[in-house]
Chain A
Amino acid sequence: GESVGLHLPTLSVQEGDNSIINCAYSNSASDYFIWYKQESGKGPQFIIDIRSNMDKRQGQRVTVLLNKTVKHLSLQIAATQPGDSAVYFCAEMGAAGNKLTFGGGTRVLVKP
């Protein structure tokens, strides 16, 4: 079935270093991918998205890479800050509609 999963459940990063969060997806028909950040007690917050016709997209301090050949998605955070500590989810949407399917999440802990 359709699923989105993450390789690393917890990522510990030194403040100022770059972070890389990985995600594998199984539905080759997925057209749209989103990274969300979720802090404790809050809803998922949109970070960055990418469509299947792209392989890279950059935002402020974040970059998303999409490798459709191996169905892999990654989020790179530059100069990780304490405020980046949260759980990060990748989510995918198929071409058929608006249903987002989430993975299980990766917790990022930023050490001062």
Chain B
Amino acid sequence: GAGVSQSPRYKVAKRGQDVALRCDPISGHVSLFWYQQALGQGPEFLTYFQNEAQLDKSGLPSDRFFAERPEGSVSTLKIQRTQQEDSAVYLCASSLVSGTGMAPLHFGNGTRLTVT
């Protein structure tokens, strides 16, 4: 496929469980982003990678959130000891340019996480 692919599409976790969300960006895209979207709200920035380097993680809400992109392609967002407030849609996006270049972010359809 030509777009950003995210899996799983839906994830239900019991409070306290760990989850891992996967993102396959568009091939060749240097930049990768994770966003969190609560119901009825706009996406909120979590973290940003340029290739394998995590250049900005200022949006991660707590140290229970961890993201990696070890080979500069696929990325995983991990949430440890999930809490109910973590319930949201987690969106991944990729972009062709890096640094101060400006190009639109292309989003996947997200993973809807529900913590019970």
Instruction: Please report the total number of B residues contacting A with Cβ < 8 Å.
Output: 27
B106: chain A residues at CB < 8 Å are 46
Complex interface bits, A52-91 against B, C-beta within 8 A gives 1, otherwise 0: 0000000000000000000000000000000000000101
A99-B45 CB under 8 A given contacts A43-B91, A51-B102: yes
A41: chain B residues at CB < 8 Å are 109
Q: How far is the CA of A51 from the CA of B42 in the complex (A)?
A: 21
Determine if B74 is an interface residue (Cβ-Cβ < 8 Å).
no
Determine if B108 is an interface residue (Cβ-Cβ < 8 Å).
yes
Instruction: Please report the total number of A residues contacting B with Cβ < 8 Å.
Output: 27
Q: How many A-B residue pairs have CB under 8 A?
A: 62
A104: chain B residues at CB < 8 Å are 41-42
Contact of A99 with B42 in the complex, beta carbons under 8 Å: no
Determine if B100 is an interface residue (Cβ-Cβ < 8 Å).
yes
Contact of A43 with B48 in the complex, beta carbons under 8 Å: no
Contact of B104 with A102 in the complex, beta carbons under 8 Å: no
A44: chain B residues at CB < 8 Å are 43, 91, 107
Complex interface bits, B93-110 against A, C-beta within 8 A gives 1, otherwise 0: 101011110101111111
Question: Nearest Cβ in chain A — how far from B7, in angstroms?
Answer: 13
Determine if B56 is an interface residue (Cβ-Cβ < 8 Å).
yes
Q: How far is the CA of A97 from the CA of B107 in the complex (A)?
A: 18
Residue in contact with A105 in the complex, picked from B42, B91, B95, B102, CB distance below 8 Å: B42
Residue in contact with A43 in the complex, picked from B56, B95, B104, B109, CB distance below 8 Å: B109
Determine if A15 is an interface residue (Cβ-Cβ < 8 Å).
no
Contact of B48 with A98 in the complex, beta carbons under 8 Å: yes
B76: chain A residues at CB < 8 Å are none
Contact of A98 with B95 in the complex, beta carbons under 8 Å: yes
A45-B107 CB under 8 A given contacts A98-B95, A102-B42, A104-B42: yes
The 7 tightest CB contacts between A and B, nearest first, are A102-B42, A43-B107, A32-B102, A46-B104, A43-B109, A44-B107, A102-B43
Q: Which residues of A contact B (CB under 8 A)?
A: 4, 31-32, 34, 36, 41-46, 49, 51, 89, 91, 93, 95-105
